Amino acid sequence: MENHKNFLTTAPYKGTRDFYPDEMRLRNWMFSVMRETVLSFGYEEYDGPILESFDLYKAKSGEEIVERQLYDFIDKGERRVAIRPEMTPTLARMVAGNLRNLPRPVRWFSVPNLWRYEQPGKGRLREHWQLNVDLFGVDSFRAELEILLIADSILKRFGAPEGSYQIRVSHRKLLDSFLKNSLKLNADQIHGVSKLLDKKSKISAEAFESEIKPFLDDAAKQIPLIETFLGSDLRSVSDIPGIDPESVSFIRNLFGELQALGVEKQLTFDPSIIRGFDYYTGCIFEVFDTNPENRRSLYGGGRYDNLIGLFSKEQLSGIGFGLGDVTLKNFLEGHGLIPNLSREKTVFLPIMEESLFLDTFKLSKELRENGILAETMLDSAKIGKQIQTAEKKGYRFVLFLGESEIRTDTVQIKDLVSGEQKSLPRKGLAEILKKDFQL
C-alpha cells in the first residue's frame, strides 16, 4: 500500500517563504536592527490580530487592494473577515480605541506580516513583513523631521554608504494645487491624471502622452507644463502659477532643519512622487535604492490628517512609513551589507563513550546555567562523525569529556577554526570560557 501512496508536496503556498534557520537568522537580524533604531527614538511596539473585519479595509484601503488583492472570506459565524493587507487600518482602529489615554506625541511601531493576492515576482510576494513607524499628535513639520530622520537612521544603522539611497520628498497639496490651479482640471480629470502620474515611471514617454491626452483640454500647452512641474526644484516650483505656496515653504523649512541635522546629501525634492494611497494629505516621501540593478522605491510614507475619522469625531494628525522585508533584503544584498550571520552557538559536546552520557549532559546543563550556550549529542556515534555534526551546525568550539578528563577533573577544548586543542580545568569552566574564549 505504501508504494502507491501519493505524497503531499513540501513546497510552501505560492508566493510565500519558508524560513529555515539560516533565513530566520537573517530575518531576526534585520528586524533587530530596525527595532533598535526606532526604540532609540522612544517608539513603542504594538500589534493587532491578523484577521480584521472586511469593512475596515473596504472603508480604509485603496480600491486595488480591496477588489483584487484582499484575502477575504466568510468565517464560520457568518462574519466577513480579511487577512490584513497593510497595518494602517489596524493602527487607526487601535489609536481611535484608546485616544484619551495615550500621552502625545504617540510614537508607535510594529513589524506585522501582511498578505496580498499578487502575481509573485522580484520584490513582490504574497506574504511579507513590514516595519510600520507612526507618530501622532504633532501638526508642525517637526513630525516630518523626526520621521525622515528615523527613515535615514535605519539605513545608516544597516551600514548603508553615502549615495546608496535617496530620500525623495514632496507634498500632496503641491500636486493638488498644480492639477487644480495650474492645469485647471476638474475632479474627473484630476483623478485620471493622478493615476497616470503614479505609473509614469513604469511606461514609455509615448504611452504616457497618448494615455494622458484624453484627460486634458489643451494637451499641446499642458503637457510641457506637466514636464516643467515634474522637473522642478524647490526654487523653480514656486514660479509655476497656482502652486500652493504653503507646501513649498513647509518643505523648505523641513529641508533647512534636516540639513542642520546632517541629512542633506541623500535628500531631494521630487514633485513626481505620488504614493498610491488615498489617505495621504500632506508631506509624502519615498526612499529609493540607487543600485542600478534594483532602482526602485525601498519604502515610503507620509502624513494623513484624517486617519481616525472612521471611528470617531476627533481629529488626529499622523505621519508614518512602512518598510518591507523583501525590498530591504534586496537593498542590503545589492550593496553588500549583509554580514556573516554565523550562529551565536559556541560549545558543542560530543558523547565520547556511551557510559559517559550523563556526565556530559550534566556538564552541558551546568554550562547553560552559567550563561553558556551548550548543545549535547544524545548518542555516541564515532567521534569523527560527531565533530562533523558540530561543524555542520556551525559551532566554533567542541568540548570533550572522556574517561581521563573525568579522572583529572578537566575537559579538552578544540577550536574548529584554528584546530588548536587544549586542556581546561572543569572547576570554574564557564568563567574560563567567558573570559579566555569570549563566549
Binding-site annotation: residue ranges for L-histidine = 86-88, 116, 130, 134, 275, 279-280
Q: Min. distance of Cβ 54 from its own copies in angstroms? A: 10
Q: Min. distance of Cβ 206 from its own copies in angstroms? A: 33
The type of residue at 236 is S
- By beta-carbon proximity to its own copies, the closer residue of 285 and 288 is 285
Q: Min. distance of Cβ 196 from its own copies in angstroms? A: 26
Q: Min. distance of Cβ 16 from its own copies in angstroms? A: 4
Integer Cα distance of 143 and 254 in angstroms: 10
Extended beta strands in 290-402, E state = 297-304, 318-324, 347-349, 374-376, 397-400
Q: Min. distance of Cβ 174 from its own copies in angstroms? A: 23
Which runs of consecutive H residues, i.e. helices, occur in 335-375? 357-369
Q: Min. distance of Cβ 329 from its own copies in angstroms? A: 15
Question: Nearest Cα to 89, choosing from 279, 274, 275, 276?
Answer: 279
- By beta-carbon proximity to its own copies, the closer residue of 138 and 274 is 138
Q: What does DSSP assign to residue 373?
A: -
Torsional sign, CA 83, 88, 91, 92: negative
- By beta-carbon proximity to its own copies, the closer residue of 24 and 207 is 24
Q: Min. distance of Cβ 414 from its own copies in angstroms? A: 17
The type of residue at 94 is M
Q: Specify whether the CB–CB gap between 120 and 126 falls below 8 A.
A: yes
- By beta-carbon proximity to its own copies, the closer residue of 59 and 337 is 59
Q: Specify whether the CB–CB gap between 250 and 141 falls below 8 A.
A: yes
Q: Specify whether the CB–CB gap between 50 and 90 falls below 8 A.
A: no
- By beta-carbon proximity to its own copies, the closer residue of 44 and 233 is 44
Q: Specify whether the CB–CB gap between 171 and 273 falls below 8 A.
A: no
Q: Specify whether the CB–CB gap between 182 and 229 falls below 8 A.
A: yes
- By beta-carbon proximity to its own copies, the closer residue of 128 and 172 is 128
- By beta-carbon proximity to its own copies, the closer residue of 227 and 391 is 391
Q: Specify whether the CB–CB gap between 311 and 336 falls below 8 A.
A: no
Integer Cα distance of 87 and 252 in angstroms: 30
Q: Min. distance of Cβ 3 from its own copies in angstroms? A: 9
Integer Cα distance of 307 and 410 in angstroms: 65
Q: Specify whether the CB–CB gap between 352 and 380 falls below 8 A.
A: yes
What phi, psi does 78 have (nearest 5°)?
A: 65, 20
- By beta-carbon proximity to its own copies, the closer residue of 83 and 243 is 83
Q: Min. distance of Cβ 52 from its own copies in angstroms? A: 6
- By beta-carbon proximity to its own copies, the closer residue of 147 and 185 is 147
Peptide bond between residue 105 and the one before it cis (omega within 30 degrees of 0): yes
SS3 of 284, please? strand
Q: Specify whether the CB–CB gap between 279 and 88 falls below 8 A.
A: yes
First to last CA, the chain: 52
What phi, psi does 268 have (nearest 5°)?
A: -150, 145
